[in-house]
């Protein structure tokens, strides 16, 4: 008998515990025209919030495993995830 998939709530429940759940998502996603110092400053604030988050590891692993191309996830930026070793990108 093939293994049945886990209930979706089990897969996504970590999000209900995230420190960012009530924060404006604009903190985590840059406008298309944002560059340089402004982008780095916004990312630093977003990453500092991630540093307080009880589900940061789950968030980071999610972003790595699905290849999230935008935003700060689990304390990582797009470029940091792009440079992550391949073994960290595998699904859990």
Binding-site sequence positions for [4Fe-4S] cluster: 20, 50, 53, 59
CA angle 22, 24, 25 (to 5 degrees): 105
Q: How far apart are CA 72 and CA 66, in angstroms?
A: 14
Q: Indicate the annotated binding residues.
A: 20, 50, 53, 59
């Amino acid at each position: 008998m093939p293994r049945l998939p886990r209930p979706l709530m089990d897969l996504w429940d970590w999000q209900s515990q995230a420190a960012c759940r009530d924060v404006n998502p604009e903190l985590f996603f840059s406008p298309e025209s944002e560059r340089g110092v402004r982008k780095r400053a916004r990312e630093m604030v977003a990453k500092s919030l991630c540093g307080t988050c009880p589900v940061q590891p789950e968030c980071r692993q999610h972003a790595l495993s699905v290849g999230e191309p935008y935003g700060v996830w689990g304390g990582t930026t797009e470029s940091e995830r792009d440079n992550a070793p391949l073994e960290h990108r595998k699904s859990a």
